[in-house]
A and B are shown apart, each in its own frame.
Chain A
Amino acid sequence: MDPSTGVGAKVLTSGNEAAAEAAIRAGCRFYAGYPITPQVELMAYMATELAARGGVFVQAESEVAAINMIYGASAAGARAMTSSSSPGISLKQEGISYLAGSELPAVIVNVQRGSPGLGNISPAQSDYYQATRGGGHGDYRTITLAPATVQEMCDLTYLAFDLADNYRTPVIILSDGMVGQMMEAVSFDHLPEPSPPPKPWALTGTPGRERNTVVSFRLTPEDLAELNRRLQGRYADICRNEVLYELAGPEDADVLLVAYGTAARICRQVVERPPQALPFKVALLRPITLWPFPGEALAEMAERVKGILVVELSAGQMVDDVRLAVEGRCRVEFFGRMGGQVPTASETVERLVGLFA
Protein backbone atom coordinates (compact mmCIF):
# COMPACT_ATOMS: atom_id res chain seq x y z
CA MET A 1 0.00 0.00 0.00
CA ASP A 2 1.00 3.59 -0.31
CA PRO A 3 0.91 5.30 3.08
CA SER A 4 0.72 8.69 1.42
CA THR A 5 -2.79 7.90 0.22
CA GLY A 6 -3.76 6.32 3.52
CA VAL A 7 -5.41 9.40 4.91
CA GLY A 8 -9.16 9.47 5.24
CA ALA A 9 -9.97 6.69 2.84
CA LYS A 10 -9.67 2.95 3.01
CA VAL A 11 -6.70 1.56 1.13
CA LEU A 12 -6.22 -1.73 -0.64
CA THR A 13 -3.58 -3.50 1.42
CA SER A 14 -2.29 -7.00 2.06
CA GLY A 15 -2.44 -8.48 5.55
CA ASN A 16 1.34 -8.54 5.77
CA GLU A 17 1.63 -4.87 4.87
CA ALA A 18 -1.26 -3.92 7.14
CA ALA A 19 0.54 -5.50 10.09
CA ALA A 20 3.72 -3.63 9.20
CA GLU A 21 1.94 -0.29 8.86
CA ALA A 22 0.03 -0.82 12.11
CA ALA A 23 3.28 -1.65 13.90
CA ILE A 24 4.86 1.57 12.72
CA ARG A 25 1.78 3.50 13.84
CA ALA A 26 1.94 1.71 17.19
CA GLY A 27 5.38 3.18 17.69
CA CYS A 28 7.45 0.15 16.73
CA ARG A 29 11.00 1.47 16.51
CA PHE A 30 12.88 -1.71 15.73
CA TYR A 31 12.23 -4.55 13.32
CA ALA A 32 14.53 -7.47 12.58
CA GLY A 33 13.64 -10.41 10.39
CA TYR A 34 14.85 -13.03 7.97
CA PRO A 35 13.06 -13.57 4.63
CA ILE A 36 10.51 -16.34 4.38
CA THR A 37 7.35 -16.82 2.35
CA PRO A 38 4.46 -16.09 2.92
CA GLN A 39 5.44 -13.08 5.04
CA VAL A 40 8.08 -11.41 2.81
CA GLU A 41 5.81 -8.43 2.10
CA LEU A 42 5.86 -7.47 5.78
CA MET A 43 9.63 -7.42 5.82
CA ALA A 44 9.92 -5.54 2.52
CA TYR A 45 7.45 -2.95 3.80
CA MET A 46 9.54 -2.46 6.93
CA ALA A 47 12.72 -2.19 4.83
CA THR A 48 11.21 0.72 2.96
CA GLU A 49 8.95 2.38 5.52
CA LEU A 50 10.34 1.87 9.00
CA ALA A 51 13.70 3.42 8.28
CA ALA A 52 12.08 6.27 6.36
CA ARG A 53 9.89 7.01 9.39
CA GLY A 54 12.59 7.10 12.01
CA GLY A 55 12.84 3.45 13.04
CA VAL A 56 15.47 0.78 12.53
CA PHE A 57 15.22 -2.10 10.08
CA VAL A 58 17.73 -4.94 10.18
CA GLN A 59 17.81 -7.94 7.89
CA ALA A 60 19.20 -10.51 10.29
CA GLU A 61 21.40 -13.42 9.24
CA SER A 62 18.86 -15.87 10.63
CA GLU A 63 15.67 -16.07 12.66
CA VAL A 64 17.77 -16.93 15.70
CA ALA A 65 19.65 -13.67 15.32
CA ALA A 66 16.47 -11.72 14.58
CA ILE A 67 14.67 -12.74 17.77
CA ASN A 68 17.74 -11.96 19.84
CA MET A 69 18.02 -8.54 18.21
CA ILE A 70 14.43 -8.04 19.36
CA TYR A 71 15.52 -9.04 22.85
CA GLY A 72 18.18 -6.35 22.77
CA ALA A 73 15.97 -3.62 21.35
CA SER A 74 13.21 -4.43 23.82
CA ALA A 75 15.66 -4.46 26.73
CA ALA A 76 16.73 -1.02 25.53
CA GLY A 77 13.15 0.13 25.97
CA ALA A 78 11.98 0.25 22.34
CA ARG A 79 8.84 -1.27 20.92
CA ALA A 80 10.20 -4.10 18.79
CA MET A 81 8.81 -6.64 16.37
CA THR A 82 9.87 -9.59 14.26
CA SER A 83 7.94 -11.71 11.82
CA SER A 84 8.37 -15.04 10.09
CA SER A 85 6.53 -18.15 9.04
CA SER A 86 6.35 -21.58 10.65
CA PRO A 87 9.89 -22.98 10.13
CA GLY A 88 11.40 -19.65 11.09
CA ILE A 89 9.15 -19.34 14.14
CA SER A 90 10.48 -22.70 15.32
CA LEU A 91 13.98 -21.22 15.27
CA LYS A 92 12.80 -18.26 17.31
CA GLN A 93 11.47 -20.38 20.15
CA GLU A 94 14.60 -20.22 22.29
CA GLY A 95 14.56 -16.44 22.03
CA ILE A 96 10.86 -16.24 22.84
CA SER A 97 11.44 -18.30 25.97
CA TYR A 98 14.21 -15.87 26.98
CA LEU A 99 11.91 -12.90 26.31
CA ALA A 100 9.26 -14.46 28.53
CA GLY A 101 11.78 -15.29 31.27
CA SER A 102 13.28 -11.81 31.16
CA GLU A 103 9.82 -10.20 31.20
CA LEU A 104 10.41 -8.37 27.94
CA PRO A 105 7.64 -7.12 25.68
CA ALA A 106 7.86 -8.06 22.00
CA VAL A 107 5.53 -8.67 19.06
CA ILE A 108 6.11 -11.76 16.93
CA VAL A 109 4.07 -12.31 13.77
CA ASN A 110 3.71 -15.88 12.51
CA VAL A 111 2.22 -16.05 9.01
CA GLN A 112 1.71 -19.79 9.18
CA ARG A 113 2.32 -22.15 6.29
CA GLY A 114 1.87 -25.86 5.75
CA SER A 115 4.34 -27.95 7.77
CA PRO A 116 5.97 -30.01 9.46
CA GLY A 117 9.54 -29.61 8.25
CA LEU A 118 9.88 -27.32 5.27
CA GLY A 119 6.27 -27.90 4.28
CA ASN A 120 5.03 -25.48 1.63
CA ILE A 121 3.97 -21.86 1.29
CA SER A 122 0.20 -22.36 1.46
CA PRO A 123 -1.88 -21.25 4.46
CA ALA A 124 -2.19 -23.50 7.50
CA GLN A 125 -3.07 -23.34 11.18
CA SER A 126 -0.84 -26.08 12.43
CA ASP A 127 1.24 -23.97 14.84
CA TYR A 128 -1.62 -23.54 17.32
CA TYR A 129 -0.08 -25.73 20.00
CA GLN A 130 3.29 -24.04 19.61
CA ALA A 131 1.80 -20.55 19.91
CA THR A 132 -0.65 -21.17 22.75
CA ARG A 133 1.45 -23.43 24.99
CA GLY A 134 4.60 -21.35 24.99
CA GLY A 135 6.49 -22.91 22.10
CA GLY A 136 9.90 -23.00 23.75
CA HIS A 137 11.16 -24.46 27.01
CA GLY A 138 9.84 -23.46 30.40
CA ASP A 139 6.62 -22.55 32.16
CA TYR A 140 5.47 -19.60 30.12
CA ARG A 141 2.64 -18.53 27.86
CA THR A 142 2.41 -16.00 25.09
CA ILE A 143 -0.69 -13.96 24.38
CA THR A 144 -1.84 -15.21 20.97
CA LEU A 145 -4.00 -13.08 18.69
CA ALA A 146 -5.66 -14.56 15.61
CA PRO A 147 -6.62 -12.07 12.88
CA ALA A 148 -9.21 -13.18 10.34
CA THR A 149 -9.18 -10.13 8.09
CA VAL A 150 -6.67 -7.68 6.75
CA GLN A 151 -8.26 -5.01 8.97
CA GLU A 152 -7.59 -7.25 11.95
CA MET A 153 -3.97 -7.74 10.87
CA CYS A 154 -3.82 -4.00 11.41
CA ASP A 155 -5.93 -3.69 14.56
CA LEU A 156 -4.57 -6.71 16.41
CA THR A 157 -0.96 -5.79 15.63
CA TYR A 158 -1.58 -2.39 17.13
CA LEU A 159 -3.23 -3.99 20.17
CA ALA A 160 -0.35 -6.48 20.49
CA PHE A 161 2.12 -3.71 21.27
CA ASP A 162 -0.06 -2.41 24.11
CA LEU A 163 -0.62 -5.87 25.55
CA ALA A 164 3.09 -6.68 25.29
CA ASP A 165 4.07 -3.53 27.18
CA ASN A 166 1.29 -3.74 29.76
CA TYR A 167 2.09 -7.31 30.72
CA ARG A 168 5.80 -7.28 29.84
CA THR A 169 5.38 -10.37 27.70
CA PRO A 170 5.92 -11.51 24.13
CA VAL A 171 2.71 -11.48 22.08
CA ILE A 172 2.19 -13.68 19.04
CA ILE A 173 0.07 -12.70 16.07
CA LEU A 174 -0.96 -16.09 14.71
CA SER A 175 -1.88 -15.36 11.11
CA ASP A 176 -1.65 -17.57 8.06
CA GLY A 177 -0.65 -17.38 4.41
CA MET A 178 -4.15 -16.48 3.33
CA VAL A 179 -4.75 -13.56 5.68
CA GLY A 180 -1.15 -12.45 5.20
CA GLN A 181 -1.15 -12.31 1.42
CA MET A 182 -4.78 -11.41 0.80
CA MET A 183 -5.66 -7.80 0.07
CA GLU A 184 -8.73 -6.00 1.39
CA ALA A 185 -9.75 -2.42 1.97
CA VAL A 186 -8.29 -1.25 5.26
CA SER A 187 -8.48 1.89 7.32
CA PHE A 188 -5.64 3.00 9.58
CA ASP A 189 -7.00 6.35 10.67
CA HIS A 190 -8.76 5.14 13.79
CA LEU A 191 -5.49 4.04 15.37
CA PRO A 192 -4.63 6.46 18.17
CA GLU A 193 -1.21 7.98 18.77
CA PRO A 194 0.72 5.34 20.71
CA SER A 195 1.29 5.91 24.41
CA PRO A 196 3.64 3.19 25.67
CA PRO A 197 3.87 2.93 29.46
CA PRO A 198 7.06 4.09 31.16
CA LYS A 199 9.75 1.39 31.25
CA PRO A 200 11.80 2.00 34.38
CA TRP A 201 13.35 -1.45 33.94
CA ALA A 202 14.88 -0.63 30.54
CA LEU A 203 18.62 -0.49 29.96
CA THR A 204 19.46 3.13 29.31
CA GLY A 205 22.68 3.66 31.24
CA THR A 206 22.58 4.57 34.92
CA PRO A 207 22.73 8.33 35.29
CA GLY A 208 20.87 9.10 38.51
CA ARG A 209 19.46 5.66 39.17
CA GLU A 210 20.30 2.18 40.41
CA ARG A 211 21.45 -0.23 37.74
CA ASN A 212 18.95 -2.43 35.88
CA THR A 213 19.48 -6.02 34.79
CA VAL A 214 17.39 -7.83 32.18
CA VAL A 215 17.88 -11.51 32.93
CA SER A 216 15.92 -14.72 33.17
CA PHE A 217 18.64 -16.49 35.17
CA ARG A 218 18.14 -17.02 38.91
CA LEU A 219 20.73 -19.01 40.80
CA THR A 220 18.58 -20.30 43.62
CA PRO A 221 15.39 -22.33 43.28
CA GLU A 222 13.69 -19.88 45.65
CA ASP A 223 14.48 -16.92 43.43
CA LEU A 224 13.49 -18.77 40.29
CA ALA A 225 10.24 -19.87 41.91
CA GLU A 226 9.58 -16.22 42.75
CA LEU A 227 10.06 -15.19 39.10
CA ASN A 228 7.78 -18.01 37.99
CA ARG A 229 5.12 -17.00 40.51
CA ARG A 230 5.21 -13.45 39.17
CA LEU A 231 4.81 -14.72 35.61
CA GLN A 232 1.94 -17.01 36.56
CA GLY A 233 0.22 -14.16 38.39
CA ARG A 234 0.46 -12.05 35.28
CA TYR A 235 -0.89 -14.90 33.14
CA ALA A 236 -3.88 -15.17 35.49
CA ASP A 237 -4.50 -11.43 35.02
CA ILE A 238 -4.31 -11.86 31.26
CA CYS A 239 -6.87 -14.69 31.39
CA ARG A 240 -9.20 -12.51 33.46
CA ASN A 241 -8.88 -9.34 31.42
CA GLU A 242 -7.92 -9.98 27.85
CA VAL A 243 -10.15 -12.69 26.38
CA LEU A 244 -11.51 -11.67 22.98
CA TYR A 245 -13.95 -13.53 20.78
CA GLU A 246 -16.80 -12.88 18.37
CA LEU A 247 -20.20 -14.55 18.10
CA ALA A 248 -22.16 -14.58 14.85
CA GLY A 249 -25.46 -16.13 13.82
CA PRO A 250 -28.75 -16.91 15.58
CA GLU A 251 -28.94 -17.08 19.38
CA ASP A 252 -31.00 -20.26 19.20
CA ALA A 253 -28.55 -22.12 16.98
CA ASP A 254 -28.62 -25.92 16.96
CA VAL A 255 -24.99 -26.30 16.04
CA LEU A 256 -22.05 -24.08 16.91
CA LEU A 257 -19.05 -23.73 14.64
CA VAL A 258 -15.79 -22.84 16.37
CA ALA A 259 -12.98 -21.53 14.19
CA TYR A 260 -10.38 -18.76 14.09
CA GLY A 261 -8.52 -16.85 11.37
CA THR A 262 -8.99 -18.09 7.83
CA ALA A 263 -11.12 -21.07 8.90
CA ALA A 264 -13.46 -18.66 10.70
CA ARG A 265 -14.04 -16.73 7.48
CA ILE A 266 -15.17 -19.89 5.75
CA CYS A 267 -17.42 -20.72 8.71
CA ARG A 268 -18.84 -17.21 8.81
CA GLN A 269 -19.85 -17.67 5.18
CA VAL A 270 -21.67 -20.84 6.19
CA VAL A 271 -23.49 -18.95 8.94
CA GLU A 272 -24.38 -15.80 6.99
CA ARG A 273 -24.79 -16.95 3.40
CA PRO A 274 -24.48 -20.72 3.11
CA PRO A 275 -23.91 -22.02 -0.41
CA GLN A 276 -26.53 -24.72 0.24
CA ALA A 277 -29.53 -24.48 2.56
CA LEU A 278 -28.98 -26.03 5.99
CA PRO A 279 -31.64 -28.11 7.76
CA PHE A 280 -30.73 -26.55 11.12
CA LYS A 281 -29.52 -23.27 12.58
CA VAL A 282 -25.80 -22.63 12.81
CA ALA A 283 -23.82 -20.02 14.72
CA LEU A 284 -20.11 -19.27 14.96
CA LEU A 285 -17.85 -18.59 17.90
CA ARG A 286 -14.58 -17.13 16.70
CA PRO A 287 -11.78 -16.90 19.27
CA ILE A 288 -9.74 -13.75 18.62
CA THR A 289 -7.39 -14.48 21.50
CA LEU A 290 -6.31 -18.11 21.25
CA TRP A 291 -4.49 -17.71 24.52
CA PRO A 292 -6.20 -16.69 26.69
CA PHE A 293 -8.83 -19.00 25.22
CA PRO A 294 -12.52 -18.00 25.46
CA GLY A 295 -13.36 -21.16 27.38
CA GLU A 296 -16.09 -19.66 29.56
CA ALA A 297 -18.07 -18.32 26.64
CA LEU A 298 -17.74 -21.66 24.96
CA ALA A 299 -18.88 -23.59 28.02
CA GLU A 300 -21.96 -21.40 28.16
CA MET A 301 -22.73 -21.97 24.49
CA ALA A 302 -22.24 -25.71 24.95
CA GLU A 303 -25.24 -25.75 27.32
CA ARG A 304 -27.45 -24.43 24.56
CA VAL A 305 -26.47 -26.25 21.37
CA LYS A 306 -26.78 -29.85 20.23
CA GLY A 307 -23.23 -30.04 19.04
CA ILE A 308 -20.06 -28.20 18.12
CA LEU A 309 -17.99 -28.49 14.96
CA VAL A 310 -14.44 -27.18 15.22
CA VAL A 311 -12.91 -26.25 11.86
CA GLU A 312 -9.16 -25.76 11.51
CA LEU A 313 -6.50 -25.85 8.81
CA SER A 314 -4.75 -28.59 10.76
CA ALA A 315 -5.20 -32.13 12.00
CA GLY A 316 -7.04 -30.72 15.01
CA GLN A 317 -5.26 -28.66 17.66
CA MET A 318 -7.68 -26.01 18.98
CA VAL A 319 -10.28 -28.76 19.22
CA ASP A 320 -8.42 -29.91 22.35
CA ASP A 321 -9.08 -26.57 24.04
CA VAL A 322 -12.70 -26.70 22.94
CA ARG A 323 -13.13 -30.15 24.49
CA LEU A 324 -11.44 -28.96 27.70
CA ALA A 325 -13.85 -26.03 27.91
CA VAL A 326 -16.96 -27.97 26.96
CA GLU A 327 -16.26 -30.77 29.44
CA GLY A 328 -18.68 -33.16 27.81
CA ARG A 329 -21.65 -30.75 27.88
CA CYS A 330 -22.27 -31.48 24.20
CA ARG A 331 -20.88 -33.39 21.28
CA VAL A 332 -17.65 -31.91 19.84
CA GLU A 333 -16.64 -32.86 16.29
CA PHE A 334 -13.73 -31.82 14.14
CA PHE A 335 -13.31 -30.92 10.47
CA GLY A 336 -9.88 -30.06 9.15
CA ARG A 337 -7.76 -29.71 6.06
CA MET A 338 -4.01 -30.15 6.09
CA GLY A 339 -0.98 -29.44 3.99
CA GLY A 340 -1.98 -25.93 2.99
CA GLN A 341 -5.48 -26.76 1.78
CA VAL A 342 -8.40 -24.56 2.75
CA PRO A 343 -11.87 -26.09 3.09
CA THR A 344 -14.62 -24.39 1.10
CA ALA A 345 -17.95 -23.29 2.51
CA SER A 346 -19.66 -26.10 0.56
CA GLU A 347 -17.38 -28.72 2.05
CA THR A 348 -18.05 -27.36 5.51
CA VAL A 349 -21.81 -27.46 4.95
CA GLU A 350 -21.51 -31.02 3.71
CA ARG A 351 -19.63 -32.02 6.84
CA LEU A 352 -22.12 -30.21 9.09
CA VAL A 353 -25.05 -31.96 7.46
CA GLY A 354 -23.30 -35.31 7.52
CA LEU A 355 -22.65 -35.00 11.23
CA PHE A 356 -25.67 -33.22 12.64
CA ALA A 357 -28.66 -33.58 10.30
Chain B
Amino acid sequence: MVAADALQSEHRLIVAGSGGQGILTFCKLLCSAAVQEGRNVTYLPSYGPEVRSGTARCRVIISPETIHSPLVEEPDSLIVFNQSSYDRFAPTLRPGGLLLVNSSAVEAEEGGAAKVLALPATDLAAEMGSVKVANSILLGAFVSATGVVSEESCLDALTEHWGRRRADMAELNVQALKRGAELVVESATAPLKGRKSV
Protein backbone atom coordinates (compact mmCIF):
# COMPACT_ATOMS: atom_id res chain seq x y z
CA MET B 1 0.00 0.00 0.00
CA VAL B 2 2.91 2.31 0.70
CA ALA B 3 3.75 4.37 -2.34
CA ALA B 4 7.37 3.77 -3.27
CA ASP B 5 7.91 7.47 -3.87
CA ALA B 6 6.23 8.60 -0.65
CA LEU B 7 9.50 10.02 0.62
CA GLN B 8 10.35 11.84 -2.60
CA SER B 9 7.05 13.54 -3.20
CA GLU B 10 5.14 16.23 -1.40
CA HIS B 11 2.16 15.26 0.73
CA ARG B 12 -0.56 17.75 1.64
CA LEU B 13 -3.20 16.94 4.18
CA ILE B 14 -6.02 18.42 6.16
CA VAL B 15 -6.90 17.05 9.57
CA ALA B 16 -10.15 18.28 11.05
CA GLY B 17 -12.52 17.65 13.91
CA SER B 18 -13.64 19.37 17.05
CA GLY B 19 -11.53 20.95 19.76
CA GLY B 20 -10.30 18.42 22.31
CA GLN B 21 -10.18 15.47 19.86
CA GLY B 22 -6.41 15.64 19.53
CA ILE B 23 -6.30 17.06 16.01
CA LEU B 24 -3.34 19.30 16.72
CA THR B 25 -1.41 16.58 18.54
CA PHE B 26 -1.97 14.26 15.58
CA CYS B 27 -0.42 16.85 13.28
CA LYS B 28 2.37 17.81 15.63
CA LEU B 29 3.49 14.21 15.96
CA LEU B 30 3.33 13.65 12.22
CA CYS B 31 5.38 16.78 11.61
CA SER B 32 7.93 15.95 14.30
CA ALA B 33 8.43 12.55 12.69
CA ALA B 34 8.90 14.16 9.28
CA VAL B 35 11.38 16.71 10.62
CA GLN B 36 13.29 13.89 12.27
CA GLU B 37 13.50 12.25 8.85
CA GLY B 38 14.96 15.44 7.44
CA ARG B 39 11.92 16.66 5.52
CA ASN B 40 10.42 20.13 5.41
CA VAL B 41 7.04 20.64 6.99
CA THR B 42 4.46 23.31 7.50
CA TYR B 43 1.88 22.91 10.25
CA LEU B 44 -0.86 25.49 10.06
CA PRO B 45 -3.48 25.26 12.79
CA SER B 46 -6.73 27.13 12.93
CA TYR B 47 -9.45 27.04 15.49
CA GLY B 48 -12.53 28.91 16.53
CA PRO B 49 -12.70 31.17 19.56
CA GLU B 50 -14.28 28.37 21.56
CA VAL B 51 -11.81 26.42 23.62
CA ARG B 52 -13.85 23.24 23.79
CA SER B 53 -16.11 21.70 21.20
CA GLY B 54 -15.39 24.36 18.60
CA THR B 55 -13.84 23.34 15.32
CA ALA B 56 -10.16 22.46 15.15
CA ARG B 57 -8.32 21.89 11.96
CA CYS B 58 -4.80 21.81 10.78
CA ARG B 59 -3.20 21.92 7.37
CA VAL B 60 0.04 20.02 7.01
CA ILE B 61 2.50 19.82 4.13
CA ILE B 62 5.43 17.41 4.19
CA SER B 63 7.94 17.84 1.40
CA PRO B 64 11.51 17.13 0.42
CA GLU B 65 11.58 20.68 -1.00
CA THR B 66 11.14 24.15 0.43
CA ILE B 67 7.47 24.78 1.11
CA HIS B 68 6.12 28.17 0.14
CA SER B 69 2.36 28.46 0.57
CA PRO B 70 1.27 26.51 3.66
CA LEU B 71 -2.32 26.57 2.47
CA VAL B 72 -3.74 23.27 1.25
CA GLU B 73 -6.21 23.74 -1.57
CA GLU B 74 -6.60 20.12 -2.76
CA PRO B 75 -5.39 17.74 -0.06
CA ASP B 76 -3.77 14.42 -0.91
CA SER B 77 -5.22 13.10 2.33
CA LEU B 78 -8.09 14.13 4.48
CA ILE B 79 -8.46 12.86 8.04
CA VAL B 80 -11.78 13.71 9.64
CA PHE B 81 -12.76 13.21 13.23
CA ASN B 82 -16.33 14.49 13.06
CA GLN B 83 -19.24 14.79 10.67
CA SER B 84 -19.16 18.52 10.06
CA SER B 85 -15.49 18.34 9.07
CA TYR B 86 -16.29 15.52 6.68
CA ASP B 87 -19.13 17.46 5.11
CA ARG B 88 -16.99 20.53 4.76
CA PHE B 89 -13.72 19.08 3.48
CA ALA B 90 -14.58 15.84 1.64
CA PRO B 91 -15.37 17.73 -1.59
CA THR B 92 -11.91 19.34 -1.58
CA LEU B 93 -10.03 16.03 -1.64
CA ARG B 94 -7.81 15.43 -4.66
CA PRO B 95 -9.23 12.72 -6.95
CA GLY B 96 -7.61 9.47 -5.87
CA GLY B 97 -6.69 10.94 -2.50
CA LEU B 98 -7.04 9.19 0.82
CA LEU B 99 -10.04 9.80 3.03
CA LEU B 100 -9.45 8.50 6.54
CA VAL B 101 -12.50 8.80 8.76
CA ASN B 102 -13.26 8.18 12.39
CA SER B 103 -16.34 6.10 11.68
CA SER B 104 -17.40 6.30 15.34
CA ALA B 105 -18.45 9.85 14.59
CA VAL B 106 -18.62 10.12 10.82
CA GLU B 107 -20.82 8.55 8.20
CA ALA B 108 -18.79 8.66 5.03
CA GLU B 109 -20.24 7.88 1.64
CA GLU B 110 -18.62 5.00 -0.19
CA GLY B 111 -17.71 5.38 -3.81
CA GLY B 112 -16.49 8.62 -5.28
CA ALA B 113 -12.97 9.21 -6.40
CA ALA B 114 -11.35 8.81 -3.00
CA LYS B 115 -9.87 5.82 -1.34
CA VAL B 116 -11.87 5.53 1.87
CA LEU B 117 -10.49 4.10 5.07
CA ALA B 118 -13.01 4.03 7.91
CA LEU B 119 -11.92 3.17 11.44
CA PRO B 120 -14.20 3.42 14.49
CA ALA B 121 -11.33 5.11 16.28
CA THR B 122 -13.28 6.49 19.23
CA ASP B 123 -14.86 3.11 19.97
CA LEU B 124 -11.57 1.30 19.57
CA ALA B 125 -9.90 3.83 21.83
CA ALA B 126 -12.60 3.39 24.46
CA GLU B 127 -12.01 -0.38 24.32
CA MET B 128 -8.32 0.25 24.87
CA GLY B 129 -9.04 2.30 27.96
CA SER B 130 -9.32 5.95 26.91
CA VAL B 131 -11.14 7.75 24.12
CA LYS B 132 -8.26 10.20 24.18
CA VAL B 133 -6.04 7.86 22.16
CA ALA B 134 -8.36 7.84 19.14
CA ASN B 135 -6.01 10.29 17.44
CA SER B 136 -3.07 7.94 17.86
CA ILE B 137 -5.08 5.09 16.30
CA LEU B 138 -5.82 7.24 13.28
CA LEU B 139 -2.21 8.42 13.12
CA GLY B 140 -1.03 4.81 13.03
CA ALA B 141 -3.53 4.07 10.31
CA PHE B 142 -2.53 7.11 8.29
CA VAL B 143 1.16 6.38 8.47
CA SER B 144 0.64 2.75 7.59
CA ALA B 145 -1.64 3.56 4.66
CA THR B 146 0.54 6.27 3.12
CA GLY B 147 4.10 5.69 4.26
CA VAL B 148 4.56 9.44 4.40
CA VAL B 149 6.74 8.93 7.44
CA SER B 150 7.94 5.68 8.96
CA GLU B 151 6.09 4.11 11.85
CA GLU B 152 9.36 4.17 13.83
CA SER B 153 9.87 7.92 13.64
CA CYS B 154 6.21 8.38 14.50
CA LEU B 155 6.63 6.17 17.56
CA ASP B 156 9.72 8.16 18.54
CA ALA B 157 7.85 11.44 18.24
CA LEU B 158 4.94 10.06 20.19
CA THR B 159 7.06 8.64 23.00
CA GLU B 160 8.96 11.90 23.26
CA HIS B 161 5.79 14.00 23.25
CA TRP B 162 3.90 12.04 25.88
CA GLY B 163 7.00 11.27 27.89
CA ARG B 164 7.43 14.99 28.49
CA ARG B 165 3.78 15.76 29.18
CA ARG B 166 2.11 12.74 30.68
CA ALA B 167 4.35 9.73 30.92
CA ASP B 168 1.38 7.65 32.10
CA MET B 169 -0.27 8.15 28.71
CA ALA B 170 2.78 7.26 26.61
CA GLU B 171 2.38 3.48 26.59
CA LEU B 172 -1.33 3.54 25.77
CA ASN B 173 -0.67 5.91 22.88
CA VAL B 174 2.07 3.64 21.57
CA GLN B 175 -0.35 0.72 21.66
CA ALA B 176 -3.01 2.80 19.94
CA LEU B 177 -0.67 3.86 17.16
CA LYS B 178 0.36 0.26 16.57
CA ARG B 179 -3.26 -0.87 16.62
CA GLY B 180 -4.19 1.68 13.96
CA ALA B 181 -1.31 0.57 11.77
CA GLU B 182 -2.23 -3.12 12.13
CA LEU B 183 -5.84 -2.50 11.23
CA VAL B 184 -4.78 -0.97 7.94
CA VAL B 185 -2.54 -3.90 7.14
CA GLU B 186 -5.39 -6.32 7.92
CA SER B 187 -7.81 -4.34 5.80
CA ALA B 188 -5.36 -4.44 2.90
CA THR B 189 -5.61 -8.23 2.80
CA ALA B 190 -9.40 -8.22 3.12
CA PRO B 191 -11.06 -6.08 0.43
CA LEU B 192 -12.25 -2.76 1.77
CA LYS B 193 -15.07 -2.31 -0.68
CA GLY B 194 -18.52 -2.64 0.73
CA ARG B 195 -17.30 -2.55 4.28
CA LYS B 196 -18.43 0.23 6.49
CA SER B 197 -15.38 0.07 8.65
CA VAL B 198 -12.39 -2.07 9.39
Contacts and interface: CB of A to CB of B under 8 A. Distances in A.
**Whether chain A touches chain B in the assembled complex (some CB pair under 8 Å):** yes
A342 B72 CA distance: 12
B41 A184 contact: yes
B42 A344 contact: no
Interface in A337-351: 342, 344-346
B69 A269 contact: yes
Interface in B66-83: 67-71, 73
Contact of A12 (B41, B46, B49): B41
Interface residues of A, number: 23
A12 B43 CA distance: 9
A121 B45 CA distance: 12
B35 A265 contact: no
Main secondary structure of the interface of B (DSSP, over half): mixed
A87 B103 CA distance: 42
Interface residues of B, number: 19
B172 interface: no
Contacts of A273: 68
Contacts of B164: 2
Interface string B33-58: 00100001111111001000000000
A64 B44 CA distance: 31
A184 B70 CA distance: 10
Given A12-B31, A12-B35, A121-B49, A182 B73 contact: no
A345 B73 contact: yes
Contacts of A183: 28, 31, 41-43
B122 interface: no
B69 A345 contact: yes
B32 interface: yes
B49 A182 contact: no
A191 interface: no
B45 A181 contact: yes
Nearest to A268: B68
Interface in A120-142: 121-122
A12 B25 CA distance: 13
A328 interface: no
Nearest to A182: B44
Contacts of A342: 71
Contacts of A178: 44, 70
Contacts of A265: 68-70
A44 to B, nearest CB: 14
A209 B106 CA distance: 74
Contacts of B70: 178, 182, 265
A182 B43 contact: yes
A265 B69 CA distance: 5
Contacts of B40: 184-185
B69 A12 contact: no
Given A184-B40, A184-B42, A185-B35, 11 more contacts: A12-B35, A12-B43, A181-B44, A182-B45, A183-B31, A183-B41, A184-B67, A185-B40, A269-B69, A344-B69, A345-B69
Interface of B: 28, 31-32, 35, 40-46, 49, 67-71, 73, 164
Interface of A: 2, 10-12, 121-122, 178, 181-185, 265-266, 268-269, 272-273, 275, 342, 344-346
12 contacts: A10-B35, A12-B31, A12-B41, A182-B42, A182-B43, A182-B45, A184-B42, A185-B40, A185-B41, A265-B70, A344-B71, A345-B73
